[in-house]
Amino acid sequence: MSQKFLLPALSLENVSKTFYRGNESKQALRDVSFTIEQGDFFGLLGPNGAGKSTLIGVLAKTVKLNSGTIKALGFDLETQWRQFKMCLGIVPQEITFDPFLTVYDTLRLQSGYFGLRGNQKWIERLLDVLDLSDKKNSSVMSLSGGMKRRVLIAQAMVHQPPVIVLDEPTAGVDISLRHRLWEFMADLNRKGHTIILTTHYLEEAEKLCRNVALLNHGKIVTLESTQSLLKEYSKERILFSLPSELPKDFSINCTKLSDGSYCTAYGSPENLHTLLNELSKVGLMPEKLEIGKANLEEAFIRITGK
């Protein structure tokens, strides 16, 4: 077994970043440490303001870290940047490219940046998967926001990096394309690429990621396999929808989910009877109700409170 195979795809040790504005400061990352093994499909999750985008910026070297060490396949971010960036393909949230170039020329130029020639077949495949083939000769400036985002994804993958960092890759795309991107990411992972995903679509992380780290207030609060996390929060729960909001002083502790529905833990028949009685007291009846296992979104909300 080669030494390269034994090296982690990405390792972070005591990474910290503080932003300063006048006399004020905000610590965005607080001694963040974790390791991602080669071939993993890894989810980096957290609420808004948790530090995810700052961490992606550090990896792309658009944000300078204050302290700590980051390595990709053994190459150091600070002292071996050229080798480090060859190992990573990073899709940032911000759109950054020459808007006057065509889509195809943008990708060809990016290939040249990495010293690649004869990369046309891979570029064509990226354009096809990302539903951009009919826009290949259009200027990037003429594209919609969603299409520009897909060009960013293609840019990050054009040199077929061993480690791919995707920051909200399916934001703003329709369901059909989202599922195509899921399959494409899964296929790349099956072929040996390490995928690191940040996403607000927690069903996406639950479906794709084998391991997850949860950032909150700049710190890692959970780092474990997706299945272990789900098992930890797998107690039966009651999921229900209402015609209006629950009162703030409702007697049972309920969590509101992103789709507007509510859940409460421990979905036993006795608890269901209690819930229905308490809802009746405040003049509410569920429009939809089911008992089942908790999912990643519910685990996320219970850990972060958001």
Final residue in a domain of this structure, among 185, 205, 224? 224
Residues 272 and 137 in one domain: no
Same domain, 135 and 275: no
Question: What is the token pair recorded at 19?
Answer: 């932003």
Q: Is residue 204 part of a domain?
A: yes
Domain assignment of residue 71, yes or no: yes
Residue 15 sits in a domain of what CATH number?
Answer: 3.40.50.300
Same domain for 39 and 121? Answer: yes
**Dihedral, 53, 59, 65, 71 alpha carbons, nearest 10:** 140
pTM over 0.75: yes
Range of the domain at 278: 234-304
Position 28, amino acid: A
Residues 239, 119, single domain; the answer is no
Q: Quick one: 61 and 30 in the same domain? A: yes
- CATH code, domain with 262: 3.30.70
Are residues 150 and 23 both part of a single domain? yes
- Residue 50: inside a domain, yes or no? yes
Q: Note down pLDDT in tens along the chain; length 306 residues.
A: 444 557 999 999 999 999 999 889 999 999 999 999 999 999 999 888 899 999 999 999 999 999 999 999 999 999 999 999 999 998 765 666 777 899 999 999 888 888 888 789 999 999 999 999 999 999 999 998 888 888 988 988 999 999 999 988 887 778 888 888 899 999 999 999 999 999 888 888 989 999 999 999 999 999 999 988 877 765 667 888 899 999 988 988 888 887 888 888 765 667 788 889 999 999 998 988 887 766 787 777 777 766
Statement to judge: residues 192 and 247 lie in one domain: no
- Residue 231 has which token pair? 């098992």
Q: Assess if residue 3 is contained within a domain.
A: no
Contact assessment for residue 190 and residue 203, using Cβ atoms and an 8 Å cutoff: no
Q: What pLDDT sits at residue 267? A: 58
- Domain contains 1: no
Give 115-124 contacts, CB < 8 A, sequence gap 24+: 116/158, 116/159, 119/158, 122/158, 122/160, 123/154, 123/158
If one counts every other C-beta atom within 10 angstroms of the C-beta of residue 84, the result is 22
Number of structural domains found in the chain:
2
261 and 196 co-located in one domain: no
Please indicate, yes or no, whether residues 163 and 202 belong to a single structural domain of this protein: yes
Contact 182, 208 (CB under 8 A): yes
* SS3 category, 148: helix
Residues 260 and 210 reside in one and the same domain = no
- Tell me the three state secondary structure of residue 243: coil
With 0-12 / 13-18 / 19 or more C-beta atoms within 10 angstroms meaning exposed / middle / buried, residue 16 is middle
Within a domain: residue 173? yes
Does residue 37 lie in a domain region?
Answer: yes
Does a structural domain hold residue 229? no
| Domain match, 123 and 271 both | no
Same domain, 132 and 189: yes
Residue after which a domain boundary falls, among 224, 253, 269: 224
